[in-house]
Amino acid sequence: MKQLLLVFIGGGLGSILRYYISKNLNDYYSNFYLGTFLVNIIGCLLIGIIIGLSLKSNYISENQTLLLATGFCGGFTTFSTFALESNYLFKESSLLQTSLYMGLSFTIGVLAISFGLWLCRML
């Protein structure tokens, strides 16, 4: 039950922060959803660091990993919003703008996770 509560609390905090950032940075009439993009990239970096720390000499516990990686990062990042916004861009913008948004989100996200893991190995 404690583990479910940790995921619940982390997810709630991550969702609130995602809402705040997206509300303030997304311009739904532009050709790039900056808030969602940044949230997903920051979330990828954070989960890379969190998992890296949990794998390296148990710097953070299993419960802390549940709170931060599963809960917070799970609530903070959003694949469904990314997919919806990609659909909007496809309908309202050029294929180039849509491809740029999707390609950058995916590529930089994977690189951010790798960078977070690499940072933890360097500790």
pTM, entire model: 0.91
What's at 5, amino acid-wise? L
What's the Cα-to-Cα distance from 88 to each of 61, 82, 94, 99, rounded to whole Å? 40, 10, 11, 12
- Is 70 among the annotated ligand-binding positions? no
Per-residue pLDDT of the chain (123 residues; tens, 9 = 90+): 999 999 999 999 999 999 999 999 997 667 789 999 999 999 999 999 999 999 987 789 999 999 999 999 999 999 999 999 999 999 988 899 999 999 999 999 999 999 999 999 998
Q: Is 65 among the annotated ligand-binding positions?
A: no
C-beta of residue 113 within 8 angstroms of C-beta of residue 44: yes
- Report the C-alpha gap between 6 and 65 in whole angstroms: 9
- 27 to 68, 99, 115: CA distances (angstroms): 28, 18, 29
The separation between CA 3 and the C-alpha centre of its own chain, rounded to angstroms, equals: 21
- For 45, half-sphere exposure in the C-beta direction (CA atoms, 13 angstrom radius) is 9
